[in-house]
Amino acid sequence: MPVSVLIVDDSGFFRHRIEEMLKDDPRLQVVGTAVNGKEAVDLAKRLKPDVVTMDVEMPQMNGIEAVRVIMREAPTNVLMLSSLTHEGARVTLQALEAGAADYLPKDIRAWMDKGSSVRSQLIDRLVALGRSRRHQRPSALERSFPGSTRKGTTMVFKPEPETRQAPPKPRPARPLTREEAPRTSARPVSPALRRDPPPAARGDVAATPPSRVRFPDCKLVVIGASTGGPAALQKVLTALPANFPYPILLVQHMPKTFTQVFAERLNQQCNISVKEAEDGDRLKPGQALLAPGGLQMMIDPKQTDRVRVLAGDERLTYKPSVDVTYASAAKTYSGKVLGVILTGMGADGCDGARLLKQAGSTMWAQNQETCTIYGMPQAVVNAGLADAILALEDIGPLLANRGPR
């Protein structure tokens, strides 16, 4: 049965363009269109689609308000479409806070170009989100939708301040040298690996009880995530105390503008400090460095208490890539790394996790039931690289309570 899609956009061009992109893929079926948030809510309740594409700015009821109502009255996965501006990033994160599962940049030039990758990105996301929606258990859905009458919360960011300081200008990035580059695959990821495995291939592995998890002797925590990652990272990081004894590296698949805004918002919520990484930043206990969108983050092989933020290999599919950061940590810190892989499409992080394990480090993977998309953790679990498979709500407390006393 194809994934049913509800398209919501006040622009006739975008409604038509999305329908045109989806019509020839047998895995997807457009079941309705709406021109504003109020219509979207009514159709979501009546049609019960597997996934909704949602514009942000619309008359009568905007996209964020519509997401909140849908999550309360007819929970389903929502893919937000938003601009790549600073304001677009801020609004998109508000939508994720309201319960949206993922987002896709809405660059009209790319959407008009029939040769661009937008169609494949849109289809991959809709198929993965639609299939995951069908196979989520009720308890997982309850945890996924804040703002509803169901139990559980995810994003709970405080309102942003009225004024904002101008962000510092990033240092120019340069490509990695042969000596600096971590040894990880630079091959483009095949379409088969980029897509979430079909339901028949999913193995539901029970979560490891927290009482059975042994906290490793480590010097660094590295966390990777993609689809569903903003909410998952917020859940994990807000559980950590200000005196958390390890530095943290975060790799979240996001465009450049989004990572800056995401780091600012996390920093408002967390007891630890969170910032978008800059080339030369020091690794500090109680601080999380978020890899900038469009670049790669690795540990400086010459000054191992600092990070390098560089352009990286152009052949790499993901920028930033979890594999690159994991591989760099394995090369520099050997067996003293705790790697954590959270929800996301594809298999980014699996190659790097293998290097971490070969170096003697520890890997934790989020379990299927609490993932938005089980692709990245599943790849690590299926490869036999996970020392613990954990429910999302257990990861933060385990990090907070199992460190050295």
Residues 6+ apart with CB under 8 A from 100: 54, 67, 78, 79, 80
- Name residue 239's amino acid: A
Are the CB atoms for 57 and 81 separated by under 8 Å? no
Are the CB atoms for 79 and 101 separated by under 8 Å? yes
Hey, how many other C-beta atoms are within 10 angstroms of the C-beta on 375?
A: 26
Are the CB atoms for 50 and 133 separated by under 8 Å? yes
* Residue in 348, 351, 361, 394 annotated catalytic: 348
Indicate the SS3 state at residue 362. Answer: strand
The two beta strands, 220-225 and 273-276, are unpaired
The token pair at 330 is: 């394995």
* Residue in 9, 55, 132, 253 annotated catalytic: 253
Catalytic (active site) residue 305: no
Catalytic (active site) residue 25: no
Residue 273 to residues 175, 244, 262, Cα–Cα distance (Å): 28, 10, 13
Indicate the SS3 state at residue 234. Answer: helix
Q: Give the span between the Cα atoms of 145 and 142, in whole angstroms.
A: 6
Q: Give the span between the Cα atoms of 284 and 142, in whole angstroms.
A: 36
Q: Give the span between the Cα atoms of 38 and 15, in whole angstroms.
A: 16
Hey, how many other C-beta atoms are within 10 angstroms of the C-beta on 188?
A: 12
Are the CB atoms for 182 and 297 separated by under 8 Å? no
Catalytic (active site) residue 226: yes
* Residue in 4, 82, 144, 226 annotated catalytic: 226
Here the contacts of 19-25 (C-beta below 8 Å, separation 24 or greater) are 21/118, 21/119, 21/122, 21/123, 22/122, 22/123, 22/126, 25/123, 25/127
Residue 43 to residues 36, 47, 128, 199, Cα–Cα distance (Å): 11, 6, 21, 26
Are the CB atoms for 144 and 132 separated by under 8 Å? no
Match 């340069």 to its residue by tokens: 174
- The size of the chain, in residues, is 405
Indicate the SS3 state at residue 75. Answer: coil
Hey, how many other C-beta atoms are within 10 angstroms of the C-beta on 204?
A: 10
Peptide bond into 404 cis (omega under 30): no
> Which residues are part of the catalytic machinery?
226, 253, 348
